Amino acid sequence: MDLGLSGKKAIIVGGARGIGYSVAEILAREGCNIALCARSEDSVKDAVAELGKYGTKIIGKPVNAKNADDYKAWFEWAIEELDGVDILIPISSAGGGLGSEKYWHNAFEVDVLGPVRAVDAVIETMTEQQSGSIVLISTTSALEAMGGPMAYNAMKGSLLTWGKQLALHHGKDGIRVNVVCPGPIEFEGGNWDMIKGTMEKFYNSQLRQQPMGRLGKPEEVARAIVFLASDAASWCNGSNLVVDGGYTNRTNF
Amino acid sequence: MNKHVMGWDQTRMDVKRVQEVWRDDPEKAGNGTPVEKAPDPELGTELIPAERYYSEEFMKLEWDRIWTKTWLLGGRADDLKEPGDYICTDIGKESVLLVRQNDGSLRCFPNVCLHRGNRLRPEGIGNVERFQCMYHHWTYGLDGNLDHIPDMCTFHQGGPPGMTLPSLPCVEWASFVWFSLNPDVEPFDDFIDPLKQHIEPYHPERMAWKRDITVEWDCNWKTSVDAFNETYHVQGIHPQLKWYLDDVNVQIDCYGKHNRYLIPFAAISPRVAMPSQIPPAIYEIMVNAGMDPAEYTGRVGDIRRDVQLFKRQNGPEQGKDYSELHDEQLTDDYHYTIFPNVSLNVHADDIMMFRQRPHATDPNKMYYDIWMFELVPDGEEWPERVRHKRFKHGDKTIGQVLDQDAFNLPFVQQGMQSDYFPGLWIGDQELRIRHFHKVIDDFIYGPGGKKPDDI
């Protein structure tokens, strides 16, 4: 199956590690030119250098989604450098946390306003070219209990509603918007790597809840994201794809 | 990249990253706790004979040449506030009474009635007006004088010589009381040197009892001391601590009889990838310092330094006087071994210490005393003294980290008795173990007197 990604221009917010890096790597391998960002200069540098081996154009600069002006300027720079944008995948997250109101602000600014500002930054270009694909990243924690009543879960849940409505609104311009809900994903330096090391009992309890007895790997989510981002998914619009190895209990009618 | 303070080649250790940690500048450390690396003693690479951990013969040598010769930790001075307050503590076959006198001074006596040898008091703390033996009511004053013998006229030989309990050396230092079974023991100041300058800036006297537990452990007392004398076992037995401390950027210093290591806390071990989220144990450190982790915008790798700066700035208004401590002491673990048997973790806000006492008769058993103290901020009420708890190995949890140590030690003790285990194969990260056993050798065999066949 041809994904039709060769020569496409993709922007990944949070592409230096974990699922984001894995998405970048698959896209690069498929022939995409890529602009990526993260908060840390070192990790962006490392990712850009590493992804260069696939021979496409890879650019990156650090930026913090919380800083609206810098963030907007970063998108202007990225779209200009790539000479357009076909694919947007904003992944950055402030992560979870319980007990402080500040977590709501963090989650709103990074997990909600991050994608909102990113979509605002690309939608004009995509509308002009009458094509584009946006994949938002929610979480199975928006669907079922995980870690307590957290801002992260609720704010990620709002992306499902907003993503569907973006799809309804921009479909006429050839822009598709889909959402992916990953379950627990483990990679070196990731949250579940730390949980495995620091809260072994909790980690093992999660493994027991997994039908396949393990957590997911970044590339297993990344492949689903890349599929939805690609022309191969041309009839997927406004969908919510749960990629969790069967972890969630609910039936998705 | 700075060279590792111990000269270890980090790039060849089992690490994922090479990490540089912020340290106070020894040049600017002033009069407080020394920060600088002490010169390493030449200790060689010989095996440490396993037999000394289980041999009854060696146990006897230790009794004759260490326990009855040197200074020993007896308890906490704040348990001896009023005249008549006493601490009764056992060491091996002996037991002593540390007693606050009417004039405020401290005295120490063997806890034994001169009549038939009965123990005057059971182990523990208390307050008395006099020490009266339960057996026949021989009665001693707080000063050890034998004030009353019932029916004295029936003892034709009179009372025991001097009509007093023997007096043993004792001192108070840094909120702790120390004693010796040796009337001719060296002056305490010579014994403790140079640790006064190290420990006093922490002001242990501003800290109150938090935990007081004694566990009978199924291992030799040195097996326990060794376990706390190195950080090499973190990657083995405490994997969760890799998201709490840096077990690679450790400084080891040996001084005379005592030694220490400095280990960065609120740090991520180079043995794991740097996480992007704050690990739970470091989250706790931030909360305890008065920070809101949700507000924290820096990277996880910057937290240690930012906690130091936060505590430096906010300590005074929290009633915590850190003025005599260096920045790194506001987060890090300064861990001392005070010869022979005290493992002392000193922190800006608390002390976690272990007193490791030999069993009276069995080299394969010991008493593990856990003493924890917490800084009482200025203006806050001094908390009620926690009650002493006592149990056997594995009966109850003593916290995740110590449980991990406790679980393992009996297997070490058993394994060391194998005919196929000649002795301990010690590496550079375990330099303090080597130093500790060198001090033991000097006590047992005389300085430099240990011969190749000696255990």
Cβ distance of B276 and A100 shorter than 8 Å = no
Tokens of B166: 């023997």
Chain B residues with at least one Cβ partner in A under 8 Å = 16, 239-240, 242-243, 272-277, 279-281, 292-295, 299
- Report the alpha-carbon angle B40-B44-B50, nearest 5: 120
Residue in B239, B277, B294 closest to A191 by CB: B277
Q: To the nearest whole angstrom, how far is the Cα of B277 from the nearest Cα of chain A?
A: 7
Nearest to B222 by CA among B445, B435, B371: B435
Q: Give the pLDDT confidence score for residue B24 in this predicted structure.
A: 95
The answer to whether A106 contacts chain B (CB < 8 Å) is yes
Which pLDDT tens digit goes with each residue over B32-60?
999 999 999 999 999 999 999 999 999 99
Mean pLDDT along residues A63-69: 95
SS3 B332: coil
Q: How many other CB atoms sit within 10 Å of the CB of residue B263?
A: 23
The answer to whether A43 contacts chain B (CB < 8 Å) is no
Tokens of B416: 């060391």
Q: What domains sit in chain B, N to C, each tagged with a CATH number?
A: 10-54+195-445 (3.90.380.10), 72-184 (2.102.10.10)
Residue A53 — very low, low, confident or very high, per pLDDT cuts 50/70/90?
very high
Which pLDDT tens digit goes with each residue over B295-324?
998 999 999 999 999 999 999 999 999 999
DSSP category for residue B169:
-
Q: Give the pLDDT confidence score for residue B133 in this predicted structure.
A: 98
Locate the chain A residue with the closest alpha carbon to B235. Answer: A197
How far apart CA B89 and CA A73 sit, in angstroms, is 71
Nearest to A31 by CA among A186, A226, A240: A226
The interface pTM score, or ipTM, of the predicted complex is 0.88
Q: What is the strand order of the sheet A58-60 is part of?
A: A58-60, A33-37, A9-13, A87-90, A132-137, A175-182, A240-243
CATH for A9-185+217-243 (3.40.50.150, 3.20.20.70, 3.40.50.720, 3.10.20.740):
3.40.50.720
pLDDT at A153 over 70: yes
Residue A251 — very low, low, confident or very high, per pLDDT cuts 50/70/90?
confident
How far apart CA B116 and CA B135 sit, in angstroms, is 9
Cβ distance of A189 and B275 shorter than 8 Å = yes
Contact list in A for residue B294 (CB cut-off 8 A) is 97, 99-103, 106
Please count the residues of chain A: 253
Q: What is the mean pLDDT of chain A?
A: 96
Which pLDDT tens digit goes with each residue over B403-454?
999 999 999 999 999 999 999 999 999 999 999 999 999 999 999 899 999 9
How far apart CA B55 and CA B57 sit, in angstroms, is 5
A92, A186, A194: best to mutate for the B interface, most B CBs within 10 A: A194
Locate the chain B residue with the closest alpha carbon to A98. Answer: B294
Q: Give the pLDDT confidence score for residue A252 in this predicted structure.
A: 78
Which CA distances in Å does B305 have to B26, B252, B266, B328, B342?
17, 21, 9, 8, 29
Residue extents of the structural domains in chain A: 9-185+217-243
Residues of chain B with confidence (pLDDT) below 70: 1-2
Contact list in A for residue B276 (CB cut-off 8 A) is 17, 95, 189-191
pLDDT at A89 over 70: yes
Q: Give the pLDDT confidence score for residue A152 in this predicted structure.
A: 97
Q: Give the pLDDT confidence score for residue A199 in this predicted structure.
A: 93
pLDDT at A122 over 90: yes
Task: Output the pTM of the full model.
Answer: 0.93
Nearest to B281 by CA among B373, B369, B399, B396: B399
Cβ distance of B281 and A198 shorter than 8 Å = yes
Cβ distance of A190 and B272 shorter than 8 Å = no
Cβ distance of A190 and B275 shorter than 8 Å = yes
Q: Give the pLDDT confidence score for residue A253 in this predicted structure.
A: 76
What phi, psi does A204 have (nearest 5°)? -65, -35
**How many A-B residue pairs are in contact by the CB < 8 A criterion?**
51
Cβ distance of A198 and B279 shorter than 8 Å = yes
Contact B161, B146 (CB under 8 A): no
